[in-house]
Amino acid sequence: MASERDVRARLQRAGQEHLLRFCAELAPGPRAALLAELGALEPEALREHCRRAAAACAHPPGPPPDLAARLRPLPPECVGSASRCDPEMRRLWEEEGFRQIALNKVAVLLLAGGQGTRLGVTYPKGMYQVGLPSQKTLYQLQAERIQRVEQLAGQRHGTRCTIPWYIMTSEFTLGPTAKFFKERDFFHLDPNNVIMFEQRMLPAVTFDGRAILEQKDKVAMAPDGNGGLYCALSDHQILEDMGRRGVEFVHVYCVDNILVRLADPVFIGFCVLRGADCGAKVVEKAYPEEPVGVVCQVDGVPQVVEYSEISPETAQLRGPDGSLLYNLGNICNHFFTRDFLQMVSSEFEPLLKPHVAVKKVPYVDEEGNPVKPIKPNGIKMEKFVFDVFQFAKSFVAFEVSREEEFSPLKNAASAARDNPATTRCALLTQHYRWALQAGAHFLDACGARLPEPPSLPGSREPPAICEISPLVSYSGEGLEKYLRGREFWSPLILDENQARALQP
């Protein structure tokens, strides 16, 4: 362990010696923990981090004044669509995706290092359950979709295949996530194919460039953003692991979208057949202020302009047909080739510019009293996963249906949107739709058939409760044999047991 003298000397080099100001009064345990935390910070990197944070703060808040002039929509030839394409084309994409999965060339990578502050839980978001009849958590739904899509690819190609699941965690989420998976027997996945690794943490900094002490013995640290992925891939030799397994294509996604299609064969196949090295799934933006990034071009290269960085005027611009000019909403589902990830991690990562978030960061005052600030007092710097799009040789965006593929859990129940109730409703409405399409009918308490609306938006509660296990159906396929022409009372829970019972 580094001595106090060593740590002090390193902090002096970084201009951050104040972090030791309570060190002398700490008991041996907390003192050792603080020294260990500080000893791990590389002095030059820390100095640069604090300098950058203070410099960023000197700029006026909001989007750069010239950004609007540098923005263009993505050229149409870079954009594919799952819903507005020839069905035969879609079938070919799907076929190609399944082929790559069956060849064990596809992995999924979950970004799960975030703190879920808006949702207001103290545990990782993936452990949240939104109140489905099955009480499944987001992690369980994802694990089961992996198993089902492996099974579908295997059946088509007469083989057994594996989609490794890489999970990027942070200091906040690694322990509880690992414990959760272990306690649930990895949801019946082979633990060798679930690979957790940790992203780096960075100190929060005051507006004048001083790292913040959160407690006398603890620096205020935060994960380095989901773009911390690229350092974390190098830190933990993840690309080498992928190489050993023969993985060529990686589907990277964020934890909170209850409808996420892991390793979606249609998306993978589209990207592969287009020869893309980098791709993003998008949905049409619902309204100008929707908190999703927009996929577009800045200075002629593909980029996402984050919702926090676009001006309201630009977000509201409309094209000649009346639709939003910047309407490709990023849903944080990305496709990368392993070669591209390799190139980014080894060459381009240092070029990624951190984004600045001004936050209320709890701290200790000069007397050592804990303070919960009422207005923002600090800066957190984060890299964003999509900032690598600019380095792509062949970038594509792929538009999918919001109803089928995007309902994120961002907020606590008190918020109007993207909360536990809206995500639960989106999933149950989807399953109800799938059941009707497969020929099921639902009955009311008196045994009369419930009306079957021709279309059902995910924002409306379905007339009957129907939950279909991802182990039974990944995207609505294969349900006719259980449901066609049959009548059900609500709730219908179509899990594997029920499916066996209904099998003709």
Give residues in contact with ligand UD1 (CB under 6 A).
Answer: 111-114, 168, 170, 199, 223-226, 228, 254-256, 292-293, 304, 306, 330-332, 384-386, 408, 410
Report the Cα 253 to chain-centroid distance in Å. 4
Whichever of 407 and 469 has its CB closer to ligand UD1, that residue is 407
Task: Tell me the closest approach of the beta carbon of residue 492 to ligand UD1, in angstroms.
Answer: 29
Task: Tell me the closest approach of the beta carbon of residue 80 to ligand UD1, in angstroms.
Answer: 19
Secondary structure class of 84 (helix, strand, coil): coil
User: Which of 101, 104, 77, 142 is CA-nearest to residue 268?
Assistant: 101
Task: Tell me the closest approach of the beta carbon of residue 128 to ligand UD1, in angstroms.
Answer: 12
Task: Judge whether 141 and 133 are in contact, CB under 8 Å.
Answer: no
The strand pair at 441-443 and 487-489 is best described as parallel
- With tokens 């066609």, the residue in question is 484
Whichever of 301 and 371 has its CB closer to ligand UD1, that residue is 301
The strand pair at 201-203 and 205-206 is best described as unpaired
Task: Tell me the closest approach of the beta carbon of residue 393 to ligand UD1, in angstroms.
Answer: 22
Task: Tell me the closest approach of the beta carbon of residue 199 to ligand UD1, in angstroms.
Answer: 6
Task: Tell me the closest approach of the beta carbon of residue 61 to ligand UD1, in angstroms.
Answer: 17
Whichever of 46 and 174 has its CB closer to ligand UD1, that residue is 174
Whichever of 292 and 364 has its CB closer to ligand UD1, that residue is 292
Whichever of 239 and 304 has its CB closer to ligand UD1, that residue is 304
Whichever of 126 and 462 has its CB closer to ligand UD1, that residue is 126
Task: Tell me the closest approach of the beta carbon of residue 21 to ligand UD1, in angstroms.
Answer: 28
Structure token digits, residue 63: 């989007």
Extract the runs of DSSP E, i.e. beta strands, from 123-174: 165-169
Whichever of 141 and 438 has its CB closer to ligand UD1, that residue is 141
If one counts every other C-beta atom within 10 angstroms of the C-beta of residue 213, the result is 23
Task: Tell me the closest approach of the beta carbon of residue 168 to ligand UD1, in angstroms.
Answer: 5
Read off φ and ψ for residue 304, nearest 5 degrees: -105, 130
Whichever of 149 and 282 has its CB closer to ligand UD1, that residue is 282
Burial class of 496 by CB neighbour count within 10 A (0 to 12, 13 to 18, 19+): exposed
- Rounded CA-CA distance 84/76 in Å is 13
- Rounded CA-CA distance 204/364 in Å is 13
Residues 6 or more apart in contact with residue 48 via CB below 8 angstroms: none
User: Which of 229, 107, 101 is CA-nearest to residue 164?
Assistant: 107
Whichever of 332 and 464 has its CB closer to ligand UD1, that residue is 332
Task: Tell me the closest approach of the beta carbon of residue 304 to ligand UD1, in angstroms.
Answer: 6
User: Which of 314, 266, 295 is CA-nearest to residue 78?
Assistant: 295
Burial class of 323 by CB neighbour count within 10 A (0 to 12, 13 to 18, 19+): exposed
Whichever of 356 and 494 has its CB closer to ligand UD1, that residue is 356
Task: Judge whether 114 and 223 are in contact, CB under 8 Å.
Answer: yes
Task: Tell me the closest approach of the beta carbon of residue 118 to ligand UD1, in angstroms.
Answer: 8
User: Which of 478, 497, 498 is CA-nearest to residue 488?
Assistant: 498
Task: Tell me the closest approach of the beta carbon of residue 112 to ligand UD1, in angstroms.
Answer: 5
Task: Judge whether 463 and 450 are in contact, CB under 8 Å.
Answer: yes
- Rounded CA-CA distance 209/22 in Å is 19
Whichever of 97 and 124 has its CB closer to ligand UD1, that residue is 124
Structure token digits, residue 417: 């949107």
